[in-house]
Structure formats: C-alpha cells, structure tokens
Amino acid sequence: MKIKHERVLKDGRIHVLIELGPTEPFPVAPLNTDSHYKLNYPMDDTIIQGHILNDPQRVYWDSYSQKWMDA
C-alpha cells in the first residue's frame, strides 16, 4: 500500500488516495477505541473493547518452530 495523496478539508475530514498492489486486500476501516466489537467464528460469542483491538500486529503460524511469528 502506498499513500499517493493526503488532504485535510476545511471541516476536518481527510481525503486520502492510496495505491494497492495487485494482491493487496482493501484496507479495513479503523477501529473506534470507545466501541465494542463482536469477533467472527470460532470466537463469535466474544465481545471485545476497541482499545484492546487497536493497533493489531500481523502474524503467521510457523509450523517448523510451532509458534506465532511477526509478519
């Protein structure tokens, strides 16, 4: 993802133009730290506060070392 242009409007809104690579997914909306969120399957009965989910770290499972590694 590459930010091509960013502009703050008079009313405080921000316009951002981003460029995605052919295999990059569309970015998700930012989380509100004061809100609550319901997770998806298999933890779909769990409600989490937004401040816990804020600034997540992407990881992957390394089958050789049998632990989660930073992506």
Give domain status of residue 59, yes or no.
yes
| Domain region containing 66 | 29-71
**pTM summary value:** 0.49
pLDDT at 64: 96
pLDDT at 67: 93
3-class secondary structure, 71: coil
Specify the number of domains making up the chain: 1
Task: State yes or no: cis peptide before 25, omega within 30 of 0.
Answer: no
Give domain status of residue 56, yes or no.
yes
Give domain status of residue 35, yes or no.
yes
DSSP run (H or E) holding 27? none
pLDDT at 33: 86
Positions in the chain short of pLDDT 50: none
